[in-house]
């Protein structure tokens, strides 16, 4: 899967949020805010194919976390992306 290219992370009022580029209006009912780890993952995976294993590998390389915990976190992160329709599979 890949992150959709028409969405970018922007800082708004001190928060990192995902916004759709090229739209005239903003739907304020569906703002997606990212914590620092989610933002870092988004930056690492922009324009790349990835799966839960690749996300887990990134997490274990950057943070002191076991592979099993990283894989669970990766699956949750990917599930959030799918629900928000931010990935192309």
Return per-residue pLDDT of the chain as tens, 89 residues: 999 998 889 998 899 999 888 665 555 556 789 999 999 999 999 999 999 999 999 999 999 999 999 999 999 999 999 999 999 99
Residue 89: count of CB within 10 angstroms of its CB: 7
Of 47, 50, 69, 46, nearest in space to 59 by CA: 69
Q: Dihedral of CA 20/22/26/29: which sign? A: negative
- C-alpha to C-alpha distance for 44 and 12, rounded to whole angstroms: 21
Which domains, from first to last, does the chain contain? 2-88 (1.10.10)
Q: Is 14 left (phi over 0), alpha (psi -120 to 50) or beta?
A: left
| pTM across the whole model | 0.86
What's the confidence (pLDDT) of residue 21? 80
What's the confidence (pLDDT) of residue 23? 60
Q: Which phi and psi (to 5°) does residue 57 adopt?
A: -60, -40
């Amino acid at each position: 899967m890949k992150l959709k290219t028409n969405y970018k992370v922007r800082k708004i009022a001190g928060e990192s949020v995902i916004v759709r580029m090229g739209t005239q209006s903003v739907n304020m009912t569906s703002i997606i805010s990212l914590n620092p780890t989610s933002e870092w993952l988004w930056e690492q995976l922009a324009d790349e194919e990835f799966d839960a294993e690749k996300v887990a590998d990134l997490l274990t390389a950057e943070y002191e976390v076991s592979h099993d915990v990283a894989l669970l976190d990766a699956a949750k992160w990917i599930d959030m992306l799918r629900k928000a329709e931010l990935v192309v599979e």
